[in-house]
Amino acid sequence: MVALSLICFLSFSSVVVNAAHTSVTNVRSHSSSFGVKSSSQITMLSNSANDYIQREGPLAQAGLLANIGPKGNQASAAAPGIAIASPSTSNPNYMYSWTRDAALVFKVIVDHYARSPAPRDMSLRTLIDSYADAQSKLQEVENPSGNITTGGLGEPKFNIDLTAFTGSWGRPQRDGPGLRATTLIAYANWLLDNSNKTHVNTLWPTIQLDLDYVADNWNKTGFDLWEEVSSSSFWTTAAQHRALRQGAELAKALSKDDLAESYSTQADNALCFLQSYWNPNGSYITSNTGGGRSGIDANSILASIHSFDPSAGCDALTFQPCSDKALSNLKTYVDSFRTIYGINEGIAENEAVATGRYPEDIYMGGNPWYLTTFAVSEQLYDSLFVWDAQGSLQITPVSLSFFQQFSSNVQTGNYEADSQTYGTLTSKIRTFADGFIAVNGNHTPESGSLAEQYGKDDGKPTSARDLTWSYASAITSFLAHDGILPIPWGAQGLQIRRDANGHCISNPGPMSEIVFEVERNTLYGENVYITGSIGQLGDWDPANAVRLEPKNYPSWTVRIEIPASTTFSYKYIVQDQRSGQVTWENDPNHEVASPFKGQSVVLSDTWHD
């Protein structure tokens, strides 16, 4: 067996890298360790996977840094702290900076910096500060999604010189603000741990803008992470939940108690909504609520590893990697690709295969992706760590089919770490996880360059070259293999309220009171109602509108509890109880911000004729 080399995280101060041409020897000459253990400290992979990690680890790090401007030599035209998606400028053109991709890439850098022993590499600190500064500027850029107060934070991508991309695109995409907040919160937490609250206060306005956007928009539809389907998305909801949960804790640490309460309430609601994606009939996550597809999607695998909290065990509420739902979903997802890619032909049902975004995919011909295949291995490594840490694994009826891939006669139950069943299962699952790394290794060119995809029939790299997210996914997968864990983020011990039918009950949070009044002449059998953009007003559905009562006719009134400090819009309607006909008042909508918690206000409106 070839010894696994120490993976090094390169410093911009010492080298300008080119992912496509940097040799392993040159990369190894830098000494800033990225945290992967030496071969004497870990259980070795199979030869093919081991050889791949030894070669690819340093090159993935070089490739990631090469795509960050302006010192990365694939991104010299990019503003400081801007991560390009790829240096590819045609077929497809990815020479842009996506809020999502950049946040995930910089989360890798922040996590490495935070867990590094002193003295730390200050060039990475400079890079993180440049990212924070660039993102603060991008928040201010007016774009097709709006401006800083009208929805512009949901804009998915920008030109690399910090100007707006104004072409047609799938917008808004509501995962970006939450992911960016999570990355900056990770940095802020490290600063607090190191007694630098002053710097945290400079980051807070950027973080708060994103958290406020998430708190106001988590229950609204938008385009998914693949930018194709406008609906609710499991990935987006999971990212939003984590951001709000961590945001509440940071706000509390900064003595911003009202904000902490607001974020915590909306985190509870997002967690409640997260449960609705589960498909009990198929035992998998329906990743998008729209789009007309099966819903089987890497979206859910990525959500699981993004939500991984080592302290949360195998919690199914937050879809932890080793939860029964996450494992059942993983099997359904992986199996969906076994027969649709030529390169997977002839591979046994319990062995690793190349995976893509979703089985119905036709983009660039519908191929495997490096980052989705790495994600499967990462979920499995995360699971193995938790089982070893807790000294047991549990098989439920939901996860039984996953475990029966590796032992056909295994039954539901709890298996202690010293049992033969535990040893057999975890050994085979680790081999299974190693296999997904090896699959990617079989389709990575000698240069180590990771494109977006590789051909489903010939295995050759295709689509955008040197995809930054591909490199980030390789790094996090390799770290998961070595048991280098993310910092817990607050998933442990979370609970939800359920009604008598077992359905999750949302938490309305702090409430205020509004008395709505409007004058409107009506005919016999007609009544005045109000509906609007929040659940208390029926979410614009006339069937769920709230009826007003006549008071000193033709004045109508109703008293409604509304979430405190919430901006919303509404209209009055007239419904004929005999015919069912609905008459809406004319535009524009009424728009108002509800008062603070416990306060009340009277709104005397004029019907818009």
Q: Which residues are catalytic?
A: 224, 227
Residue 24 C-alpha from the chain's centroid: 32
Question: Which is nearest to 332 in space by CA: 296, 379, 279, 291?
Answer: 296
Identify which of 541, 500, 494 has the alpha carbon closest to the alpha carbon of residue 272: 494
- Sheet containing strand 555-563, edge to edge, reads 549-550, 555-563, 511-519, 600-606
By 3-state DSSP, what share of the chain in percent is helix, strand and coil, each rounded to 5?
A: 40, 15, 45
Torsion angle of the four alpha carbons 50, 54, 59, 65, in this order, in degrees rounded to the nearest 10: 100
| CA 64 to chain CA mean position, Å | 19
Q: Which of 221, 215, 275, 239 minimizes the C-alpha distance to 505?
A: 275
Question: What angle, 0 to 180 degrees and rounded to 10, lies between the N-to-C axes of helices 420-442 and 47-66?
Answer: 50
Query: Hey, what amino acid is at 228?
Result: E
- Tokens at residue 469, please? 């997210």
Classify the C-alpha dihedral 285-288-294-298 as positive or negative.
negative
Task: Please count the helices (runs of H) and the strands (runs of E) in the chain.
Answer: 14, 21
Distance CA 33, CA 30 (A): 8
Long-range Cβ contacts of 120-128 (<8 Å, 24+ apart):
121/9, 121/11, 121/13, 121/32, 122/13, 123/11, 123/12, 123/13, 123/14, 124/9, 124/11, 124/12, 126/12, 127/12, 127/68, 127/81, 128/187
The residue among 130, 107, 125, 181 whose CA lies nearest residue 487 is 107
- Whether 208 and 259 have beta carbons less than 8 Å apart is answered as yes
Report residue 464 as tokens.
């955008």
Return the closest-CA partner of residue 56 out of 457, 352, 478: 478
- The candidate with the shortest Cα–Cα distance to 270, out of 450, 21, 496, 19, is 496
